[in-house]
Amino acid sequence: MQDDGENAFSKGYIRPLVIRSLRRSSIRKKIAEYLLDINPSGSYTSEIAYNVKTTPTNVLGAIKGMGDRYKADESLISLNLVEQVISNKDVKLYKLTDFGKEVLDLLNKF
């Protein structure tokens, strides 16, 4: 990621908002952990919902943001933890970014 041998966390790259967002929402964290489990593959909304035992609406809210319950600036996409990949014309897959993998690996150590 960086040429000087230091990881993103040692330079303070990780924002407190990222950690706060994952700790405040169990759904966000479960989604991120599920995507880590299936990494490097992606998954679609209803499959994620089934595996984290919630509704597809909650999954979309956590990933993209939705109203007051899931703020857009704390969504997994806006925090650069998850990316949307379009595999076909109508199928949107979501997968964990490299940054998201680093964040989860760091959180799982503690």
Q: What is the pTM of this model?
A: 0.82
The CATH number for 85's domain is 1.10.10.10
Contact yes or no for 92/84 (Cβ under 8 A):
yes
Percentage of the chain modeled with pLDDT above 70 = 85
pLDDT per position as a tens digit, 9-28: 443 555 677 888 888 889 99
Residue 92 covered by a domain: yes
Residue 88 covered by a domain: yes
Give the pLDDT of residue 15. 65
pLDDT per position as a tens digit, 31-59: 999 999 998 899 999 999 999 999 999 99
- Separation CA 98–CA 108 (nearest Å): 15
Residue 7, CA distances (Å) to 4, 11, 102 in order: 9, 7, 9
Residue 10 covered by a domain: no
- Total structural domains within the chain: 1
Residue 104 covered by a domain: yes
